[in-house]
């Protein structure tokens, strides 16, 4: 039987701003090792439970009204968000990681570093009015980011 005594499974791989595709593969493997289903939460979102009000607007369902399965999915979202945040170098984390959903943060990283890897980071930054606008680059509740890898 293989031993994990020489492996460091307590810490996710750290992304320092270079070689995003390598970090992406490593963090994906790390998350799946911790909890295979957790990767789906990061990739597709936790599907936040909502109520539809009489006027047609959706509101987030209060925590005390959630069933065990929904609470577990929200807990896994918090776990995924924590892993992603802990895997980012401070300089990257401070670039506006204000997302509260793991899928939002994952999508933001995919978007920003895809452009950077293609040499077009200046183009995406030109389209946003500074750091404040990048902070608002989050998904709506029903939106999803899918990764081709």
Res 23 pLDDT > 80: yes
Whole-angstrom Cα distance, residue 53 to residue 57?
5
Res 27 pLDDT > 90: yes
Residue with tokens 């987030």: 60
Please tell me the pTM assigned to this model: 0.69
Domain boundaries, the chain: 20-135
pLDDT band at residue 115 using 50, 70 and 90 as cut-offs = low
Q: What value does the mean pLDDT of the chain take?
A: 77
**Whether 12 contacts 79, CB under 8 Å:** no
Q: Please, which residues have CB within 8 angstroms of residue 15's CB and are 6 or more apart in sequence? A: 23, 27, 87, 88, 89, 92, 109
pLDDT band at residue 43 using 50, 70 and 90 as cut-offs = very high
């Amino acid at each position: 039987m293989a031993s994990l005594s020489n492996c460091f499974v307590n810490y996710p791989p750290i992304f320092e701003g270079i070689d995003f595709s390598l970090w992406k593969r490593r963090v994906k493997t790390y998350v799946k090792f911790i909890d295979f289903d957790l990767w789906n939460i990061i990739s597709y979102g936790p599907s936040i439970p909502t109520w539809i009000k009489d006027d047609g607007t959706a509101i987030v369902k209060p925590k005390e009204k959630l069933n065990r399965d929904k609470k577990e999915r929200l807990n896994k979202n918090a776990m995924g968000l924590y892993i992603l945040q802990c895997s980012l170098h401070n300089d990257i984390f401070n670039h506006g990681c204000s997302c509260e959903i793991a899928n939002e943060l994952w999508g933001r990283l995919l978007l920003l570093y895809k452009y950077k890897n293609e040499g077009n980071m200046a183009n995406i930054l030109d389209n946003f009015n500074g750091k404040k606008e990048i902070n608002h680059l989050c998904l709506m509740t029903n939106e999803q980011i899918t990764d081709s890898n």
